């Protein structure tokens, strides 16, 4: 497994998204998935306080109890856990971190991310609170999620000299959602930020398991009601074209989806969820295709 940098952290090029923990799988299944990830060379685990209604952090912490030193844990705060626990006010930043540390059963979070901008709190105030967590040894690096290029620039301007700064941004990015290329990826290059794509498989449409005209497999993420935005006629047509393109080169659509994201130098880790050890192993092995310029150009034509 190749590794790339997020600030001072060295993370596996394939990461494990933990939003299934506590939602689609229980603690025992989580442990099997986490251990399979470690055994496959994955060291980057991305969770959030809201995942699994806080159970994701708890299950991840349990699964890593004896192997914490092999893991880079990323978590997030800011989206509403409940009516009281939400936002990016400095006092809540500190509370949210302490709550996550307790659930994770660890004394530090490697990458702590603001899950979304809070329009009611100046970013300088939030950054100051996150910097205090770094200085206290509770957090190693800080990042953000769902930020625009303009918001990244604003955060960079608001960071005080010598204080912790955002080292990463996590936004949606896949072969079917290429919006970050317009401004966020150039901002990452300009500001020295790592980019972390979420929904890299378009919630399962890019795994190659979805068949047009048939319902999504009952145990798949695409069977969930909120994922219907991924299965538009246009997306399904593009996915089928990409699947055929990959097949002519003796690769799968899954390998194409991972390897294409990994071809971007700003991408530090391709984070994908899994509900079984088999899925984890398939994901870990999927960044095996070094795409040529000609292949990248053809992919552009197929997706645009």
Question: What pLDDT sits at residue 224?
Answer: 60
pLDDT tens digit string along 171-200?
999 999 999 999 999 999 999 999 999 999
Does this model's pTM top 0.85? My answer is yes
Average pLDDT, the chain: 95
Q: Can you name the CATH fold of 3-202+254-290? A: TIM Barrel (3.20.20)
The one catalytic residue among 51, 92, 112, 173: 51
The residue ranges of every structural domain in the chain are: 3-202+254-290
The DSSP annotation for the chain comes to: --EEEETTEEEESEEEE-TTBTTTB-HHHHHHHHHHHHHTT--EEE--TTGGGGHHHHHHHHHTTTTGGG-EEEEEE-S-SSSSS-S--HHHHHHHHHHHHHHHTSS-EEEEEE-S--TTS-HHHHHHHHHHHHHTTSEEEEEEES--HHHHHHHHHHPPTTS--EEEEEEE-BTTB-GGGTTHHHHHHHHT-EEEEESTTGGGGGGS---TTSPPPTTSGGGSGGGGGG--HHHHHHHHHHHHHHHHTT--HHHHHHHHHHTSTTB--EEEE-SSHHHHHHHHT-------HHHHHHHHHHH-
Residue 218 predicted with pLDDT over 80: no
pLDDT tens digit string along 30-59?
999 999 999 999 999 999 999 999 999 999
**Does 51 participate in catalysis according to the annotation?**
yes
């Amino acid at each position: 497994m190749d590794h790339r940098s997020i600030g001072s952290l060295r993370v596996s090029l394939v990461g494990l998204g933990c939003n299934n923990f506590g939602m689609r799988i229980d603690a025992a299944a989580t442990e099997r998935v986490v251990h399979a990830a470690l055994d496959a060379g994955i060291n980057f685990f991305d969770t959030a306080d809201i995942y699994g209604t806080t159970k994701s952090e708890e299950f991840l912490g349990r699964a890593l109890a004896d192997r914490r030193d092999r893991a880079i844990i990323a978590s997030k705060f800011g989206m509403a856990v409940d009516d009281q626990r939400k936002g990016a006010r400095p006092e809540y930043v500190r509370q949210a971190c302490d709550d996550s540390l307790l659930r994770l059963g660890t004394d530090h979070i490697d990458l702590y991310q603001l899950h979304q901008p809070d329009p009611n709190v100046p970013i300088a105030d939030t950054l100051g609170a996150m910097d205090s967590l770094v200085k206290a040894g509770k957090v190693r690096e800080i990042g953000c999620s769902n930020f625009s290029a303009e918001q990244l620039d604003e955060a960079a301007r608001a960071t005080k000299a010598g204080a912790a700064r955002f080292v990463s941004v996590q936004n949606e990015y896949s072969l079917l959602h290429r919006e970050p290329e317009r401004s966020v990826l150039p901002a990452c290059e300009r500001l020295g930020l790592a980019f972390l794509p979420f929904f890299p498989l378009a919630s399962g449409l890019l795994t190659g398991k979805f068949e047009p005209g048939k319902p999504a497999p009952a145990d798949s993420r695409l069977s969930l009601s909120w994922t219907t935005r991924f299965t538009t006629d246009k997306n399904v047509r593009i996915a089928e074209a990409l699947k055929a393109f990959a097949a002519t080169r003796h690769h799968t659509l899954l390998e194409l989806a991972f390897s294409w994201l990994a071809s971007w130098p700003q991408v530090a880790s391709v984070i994908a969820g899994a509900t079984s050890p088999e899925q984890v192993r398939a994901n870990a092995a999927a960044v095996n295709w070094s795409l040529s310029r000609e292949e990248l150009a053809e992919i552009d034509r197929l997706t645009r």
